[in-house]
Amino acid sequence: MDQQAGNQNAVAVKLPTFWAEEPRVWFRQAEAQFALKGVTADETKFYYVVSALDQTTAKRLIELLDNPPQAEKYNTIKSRLLQSFALSPQERAARLLNMSPLGDRKPTEMMDEMLALLGDHHPCFLFKYLFLQQMPENIRIVLAKEDLDNPRDLAQRADQMWLSRSGDYSISKLSKSKPTIPNTMETVSNLCFYHRRFGKKARQCRPPCAWQQENDKAGCPQ
Cα dihedral value 109, 111, 117, 121, nearest 10: -150
| Confidence grade of residue 193 (pLDDT, cut at 50, 70, 90) | low
CA distance 132 to 141: 9
- Judge if 160 and 113 occupy the same domain: yes
- The pLDDT of residue 218 is 43
- Judge if 8 and 52 occupy the same domain: yes
Mean pLDDT score, 51-68? 93
Q: What is the mean pLDDT of the chain?
A: 78
Highest averaged pLDDT of the listed ranges 1-15, 138-152, 208-222:
138-152
- The pLDDT of residue 220 is 43
Which is higher by pLDDT, 200 or 65? 65
Mean pLDDT score, 139-153? 85
Segments forming the whole domain that contains residue 103: 89-177
Q: DSSP assignment, residue 124?
A: -
- Which of 59, 85, 111 is a domain's end point? 85
Dihedral sign for Cα atoms in the order 151, 156, 157, 161: positive
- Judge if 81 and 136 occupy the same domain: no
Q: Is residue 41 over pLDDT 60? A: yes
| Confidence grade of residue 125 (pLDDT, cut at 50, 70, 90) | confident
Give, in order, the Cα–Cα distances in Å from 26 to each of 11, 78, 108, 195, 215. Answer: 20, 10, 21, 77, 78
| Confidence grade of residue 208 (pLDDT, cut at 50, 70, 90) | confident
- The pLDDT of residue 197 is 66
- Judge if 73 and 93 occupy the same domain: no
- Judge if 101 and 47 occupy the same domain: no
- The pLDDT of residue 211 is 66
- Judge if 168 and 193 occupy the same domain: no
- Which of 85, 100, 131 is a domain's end point? 85
From 73, 96, 76, 94, select the one nearest 84 (Cα to Cα): 76
Are 113 and 131 spatial neighbours (Cβ–Cβ below 8 Å)?
no
Q: How many domains does the chain have?
A: 3
CA distance 61 to 78: 11
Mean pLDDT score, 201-218? 64
- Judge if 167 and 123 occupy the same domain: yes
Give residues with Cβ within 8 angstroms of 162, minimum separation 6.
106, 107, 135, 136, 139
- Judge if 80 and 110 occupy the same domain: no
- Judge if 80 and 95 occupy the same domain: no
- The pLDDT of residue 145 is 83
- Judge if 13 and 76 occupy the same domain: yes
| Confidence grade of residue 77 (pLDDT, cut at 50, 70, 90) | very high
- Judge if 171 and 105 occupy the same domain: yes
pTM: 0.55
- The pLDDT of residue 98 is 87
- Which of 20, 54, 85 is a domain's end point? 85
| Confidence grade of residue 11 (pLDDT, cut at 50, 70, 90) | low
- Judge if 101 and 120 occupy the same domain: yes
Mean pLDDT score, 161-171? 61
